[in-house]
Amino acid sequence: MLRNVARCLQSNLRRTDAIGRYGGEEFVFFLSEVEIEEGVRISDKLREFVAGLEVPIADLQPPLRVTVSIGIGGWRGEDETLTAAILVERADRALYRAKAGGRNRVEVEGA
């Protein structure tokens, strides 16, 4: 399932973006040169693409489906000392809010 989700995310990102596995069942992706609102729009589209995946597993019917919760670590140029680690920390907080808020959603921290 993780490979299918990874392929779905990778195939729907731009060449200028980066994605990687982050922890057990988490991925991190960096969207280059986009405003927060555009990042939300892109993330919501990625969420929809993943929710549309159907993964057949042996004799399991219907095929397995998954959803994703996405946290966005935003930055509007407010702090010149901002690092990738701070963005990931912000995204992680937003992710946990997304999960607590009902899952299969996008949340933003630092916007």
| Catalytic sites, residue numbers | 25
Letter string b/e over residues 18-30, b meaning 16 or more CB atoms within 10 A of that residue's CB = ebeeeeeeebbbb
Q: What is the rounded CA–CA span in Å between residue 103 and residue 97? A: 9
* DSSP 8-state code for residue 33: T
- β-partners of residue 73 are 109
Q: Do residues 109 and 73 lie in contact, with contact meaning Cβ atoms separated by under 8 Å?
A: yes
Q: What is the rounded CA–CA span in Å between residue 50 and residue 67? A: 6
